[in-house]
Amino acid sequence: MRSVKLLCALLVMMLLLCLPAAYAEPESPAAESGGSEPVVRVGMYIRTHADTRRLSSVLTCDAGFEIGRSDGTNFLPMITVSSKRIVIVPLLNMQIDYDDEYAGAALGEGNFGAWSVKNGLYGGYYSARAAGDFAAVTSKGFESRFGGFSTEEEARAHDAGRGISSPAGDRMALIDADTQKMILTYEDRTKPLALRGAGGALVSLPMVSFSGSWYIFEYPGFFEFEANGGLLNMVNCVGLEEYTRCVMANEIGGDFTKETRRAFSILARTFALGKKHGRQGYDVCSRPDCCQCYYGVYRMGDENNEIVDSTRGLACFYKDEPIAVLYTGANGGASCSSVAAWGGDEVPYLTTVFLENDEIEESARWETTFTRRELYDHLSQRSVFSALSDMDISMRVLARDPYGSSYITTLSVSDGAGHVVEINNSENVRMATGFSSANFDIEYTQDLEVLTADGKVETRRVYGVLTAEGYKPFTGFDESYGGGEYGAAVAPDKVTVRGVGSGHGVGFSATGSEKLSLEGFDFRYILQFYFKGTEIKRLYQ
């Protein structure tokens, strides 16, 4: 979505010269539900990029940490520690690389032993720790422990009669990464462990960005950890407004008009209310291609924060339910209907909307040209096309969005051996072909050497050939024509795919919103333009 930067800068300058009335600050009606700001539970996808589980996590905060429990939305404080870097692992023997800023760990006997010796219950964390090597937080209270041993034999040798504690993948160990000393083991299964920066400081942790590279991002709120089967589940609990600021910083940036950004802030907030991952124990995930980009405060700026404040508490509803939030950078002037994209029943506010004269920026256009061999190579490495065995590939568009957008809903791909693969729904078409969107046209051409009237040889690009039956345009690679002006039998040797936009094309379009806002329409109009029949409500002040 940041591809429209230059145009937007120009548009913003034009806007400043001629500020329409619609740009007045939005009014602040009383909260319609009288509620309070909810907490968003963000499932943190770090290592696998597919879920919240990981073997180890390292959190950094120069102010130190508060360690406590979580009731799902609130941090219940327990102790404050001065440790600046805390490694969290399930309570199992392992090798931890404390010097690695990502605190890589591997299961097995290593420098961290999970066996310990029990040393009695104490009234508080500090007294339990002072009586032994560290404290274990259990559902009964604070237990003093000696440890950590890698084997049962070692633990038994140190047992003074109070018993030993064995490794368990459903408990956790918190270790100071700098001193490599155990801070505590968390063995209370009644509530998840919670950590946050002391005094409200941000917490840093390594994240894999969408591009696959590692970054250290800073996060607000508190982190919740649960160990299960030897892996940690990690959730960041953050207020809805702060979550919206974080998403704005990386999903839309600062180059769009204020009304587009206001509209977007309401969508970003509404998305969280939809609780897409509710069944998995969190509301949304941090992964940009699944939910919304959540890189903490990275790239956060005052202007976008003020925009979020100006729409505080506002969210978009259809019949009292938060709408399914779908947005895209550009759709070419007509949004793809949800039926075209995924099939299923009509969603009344996700049918196609048309924006007249929506100028398609060059940056939103894409084009790929293949030779016949290249097209075969491109498609045949995708599992859905594994049935194709012959290089003579032909792609045909059989249907487009029934609501009138150009997104392709049925694509037929065949080869010279008679195999045919038919793809339905535009999102399947996009995924199967690997093209940026399913909003594309296909053109077949042949470059031919021809003899001109004055006897010169020239290369001409033809889009079809003349035959005895007249001119025939190329419609696919499996058709070739003999005779005609050029004498020899020809088959098209190039296919050019020209498309617009990237992604599904359903719902809000950022470039379309820019056009509307420059015509003087405000964020309310823009949202109701893209999501027909919906209502914007203020949930809290």
Query: Cβ closer to Zn ion: 174 or 235?
Result: 235
- Residue 273 DSSP SS3: helix
Does 40 help bind Zn ion (rule: CB under 5 A)?
Answer: no
- Position among 79, 290, 384, 448 found at the interface with Zn ion (CB under 5 A): 290
Which CB, 286 or 428, lies closer to Zn ion? Answer: 286
Work out whether 466 is an interface residue with Zn ion (CB under 5 A): no
| Closer residue to Zn ion, CB minimum distance, 44 or 490 | 44
Query: How many chain residues touch Zn ion (CB under 5 A)?
Result: 3
The closest of 505, 495, 496 to 367, measured between CA atoms, is 496
Residue 286 CB, nearest distance to Zn ion (Å)? 8
Measured in whole angstroms, how far is the alpha carbon of residue 282 from the centre of its chain?
15
291 contributes a contact to Zn ion by CB under 5 A: yes
- Stretch in the footprint of Zn ion (CB under 5 A) among 145-153, 226-234, 278-286, 300-308: 278-286
Using the contact rule CB under 5 A, the part of the chain among 63-71, 219-227, 260-268, 291-299 near Zn ion is 291-299
Q: What is the dihedral of CA 183, 175, 40, 36, to 10 degrees?
A: 20
Among 182, 246, 268, 285, binds Zn ion (CB under 5 A): 285
User: Minimum CB separation from Zn ion for residue 38, in Å?
Assistant: 18
Nearer to Zn ion, 291 or 408 (CB): 291
**Subset of residues 311 to 330 that bind Zn ion, contact rule: CB under 5 A:** none
Return the number of the residue (278 or 533) whose C-beta is nearest Zn ion. Answer: 278
Q: How far is the CB of 45 from Zn ion (least distance, A)?
A: 8
Binding segment for Zn ion (CB under 5 A), chosen from 151-159, 277-285, 329-337, 505-513, is 277-285
Residue 537, classified by CB atoms within 10 Å of its CB into exposed (0-12), middle (13-18) or buried (19+), is middle
Relative to beta strand 39-43, strand 365-371 is unpaired
Report which DSSP code applies to 520.
T
**Strands 141-149, 494-500: pairing kind:** unpaired
Nearest to 341 by CA among 530, 512, 506: 506
The nearest distance, CB 43 to Zn ion, in angstroms, is 7
Smaller CB separation from Zn ion, 250 or 260: 250
Query: In whole angstroms, what is the distance from residue 31 CA to residue 48 CA?
Result: 40
CB of 316 to Zn ion, least distance (A): 19
Is 510 within 8 Å of 252 (Cβ atoms)?
A: yes
SS3 529: helix
Q: Is 519 exposed, middle or buried (0-12, 13-18, 19+ CB in 10 A)?
A: exposed
CB of 266 to Zn ion, least distance (A): 19
Identity of the residue, 46 or 128, whose beta carbon is nearer to Zn ion in the bound complex = 46
Instruction: Report the half-sphere exposure of 144 (CA within 13 A, side-chain side).
Output: 17
In one-letter notation, the amino acid at residue 293 is: C
Polymer length of the chain: 541
Burial, 174: exposed, middle or buried (Cβ in 10 Å; 0-12, 13-18, 19+)? buried
Nearer to Zn ion, 128 or 291 (CB): 291
Select from 10-18, 188-196, 288-296, 517-525 the region that touches Zn ion (CB under 5 A).
Answer: 288-296
Question: Reduced to 3 states, what is the DSSP secondary structure of residue 50?
Answer: coil
Dist CA 208 CA 131 (whole Å): 41
The span of 3-11, 284-292, 334-342, 397-405 binding Zn ion (CB under 5 A) equals 284-292
Compute how many other C-beta atoms are within 10 angstroms of the C-beta atom of residue 382: 14
Least distance CB 54 / Zn ion (angstroms) = 16
Binding track, positions 227-266, relative to Zn ion; x by CB under 5 A = ----------------------------------------
Shorter beta-carbon distance to Zn ion: residue 202 or 290 = 290
Residues that bind Zn ion (CB under 5 A): 285, 290-291
